[in-house]
Amino acid sequence: MSKGKLYAMGTGPGASDLITVRAARLLGKLDVLYAPAGRKGGDSLALSIVREYLGEQVQLEERHFPMTANADEKAEVWDAVAQDIENDVRAGKQVGFITLGDSMLFATWVFLLERLHHKNLPMEVIPGISSYSCIASAAQFPLAMEQQSMAVMSCTAEPEVLTAALQNHECVVLMKVYGRFQQIRELLRELDLVDHAVMMANASMDTEVTYRDLMAVPDDEKLPYFSTIVVNRAWSAKVSG
């Protein structure tokens, strides 16, 4: 029996040509590919990104990871998927797991890694382009250089935690903006940083939208789920790019 191996791959921010060459080559050789789906029976965005690279032999396993506050419910799903992945690898299969952006940053994969890293499975993690790297490049809006520091924060953090990050770092990436935009914008206004913030939704996708003037965004505008703000206090958001 051939030796199985697990490959965890970041698909990048959305465009299919922003995955790494290494990931593209591995995708064509997989026996099984696990892909997270946003809802039961729904399509996997990560899978749509990589589909063109898949070999005909691959067995697709789309799995729904519930977005719920119920820790037991989530753990039950992660435990089940981790067990299925382990079984496939031990059966000698080349197994892949894909996730948006980079696998090691705010990604479902990390919860699976918690369950698999001590199993002594042959495993490789292939990095992916993060959404904020894509946003910085597309908006021509630098992240950090020289002695500057950068923080990557989830907007689910408490306001005082976000405030401290914005005060202590030259650049701050604010992820998971969806549903919290007005509160975040007000915080940036209070800290006199709103003119140093760029927001981008659906980076690298056909539906990409860039917001360089956060104060001009209507209060009732429904922002896309994949919306991220990059703040750089040394750079004006109004600089065209």
pLDDT tens digits, 8-56: 999 999 999 999 999 999 999 999 999 998 765 557 899 999 999 999 9
DSSP string, 1-42: -PPPEEEEEE-BSS-GGGS-HHHHHHHTT-SEEEEEESSTTP
Q: pLDDT band for position 241 (50/70/90)?
A: very low
Q: Are 92 and 59 in contact (CB under 8 A)?
A: no
Residues in the chain: 241
User: How high is the pLDDT of residue 238?
Assistant: 84
Question: CA-CA distance, 226 to 46, in Å (whole number)?
Answer: 13
| Domain covering 131-232 in this structure, CATH number | 3.30.950.10
Both tokens of 112, joined, read 């699976």
The per-residue pLDDT for range 89-111, each reduced to its tens digit, is 999 999 999 999 999 999 989 99
**In the chain, where the domains are located:** 5-126, 131-232
| Cβ burial, residue 65 (10 Å; 0-12/13-18/19+) | middle
Question: CA-CA distance, 237 to 211, in Å (whole number)?
Answer: 9
User: How high is the pLDDT of residue 71?
Assistant: 84
Q: Which fold has domain 5-126?
A: Cobalt-precorrin-4 Transmethylase; domain 1 (3.40.1010)
